[in-house]
Structure 1
Amino acid sequence: MVSRQTGALPTLALLGVTAAWGSTFFLIKDLLVEVSVLDFLSIRFALAAAALLALAPTSVLKLSRAELRHGVVLGLVYGVAQVLQTLGLERTPASVSGFVTGMYVVATPIFAA
């Protein structure tokens, strides 16, 4: 049986991660005043790619041609979604963008039914 004290730490961690994720909408909205959407996303994904290569270079190098092709296709789809979401964030309040993004979790099973 899990004690209350042990159960509190994961709950607090989840709350902290959620708060950090939610704050990114306000931070990104403020940043978009200074930087274009495409410049911001280019830097963001270049840093992510560099981190991936630094942390797991052998995993990246072991990918097959088919896996690379699938990764590129999925990356393009995700990239378009990120551009559209960030353009939306640029034009709407951060709270609305965060709410709509968070509702994907609730709406996906409803639309799938």
Structure 2
Amino acid sequence: MWMISGSKYMKINKKLKFLYKNGRQEQVGMYLRNHNLKDKTFPDSCKLRSECERIHGHIKNTMKFDVRRVRKESRELYSKINLVTYQLLLLTNLQNHIKPVNSFENYI
């Protein structure tokens, strides 16, 4: 892989960019996660990450982002419309003081 245009002796930032551009996103992600584990404040940021992942999981379960049966030309638009709809429902619940904000049983 390094024969393409890189060198294994490059600085780490350039190596990571090179790997990312050549389809090795998982390796770059693993390096960054391992690097974060060395950080002393990581447990605090890990709590934030788990909260963020929980919210993302809820969004994925609530909204339908499955585009397998949608025409290829329409997939990006379909996903964007779903996300905008989700955000509008959240805003409506916020404006009407509905708790919890991300409960949508009123609309189904």
TM-score category (smaller protein): 0.3 to 0.5
Tell me which of the two structures has the higher relative contact order, counting C-alpha pairs closer than 8 angstroms and 6 or more residues apart.
1
TM-score, L = length of structure 1:
0.34
Structure having the larger proportion of residues in helix: 1
**Which structure is larger by alpha-carbon Rg, 1 or 2?**
2
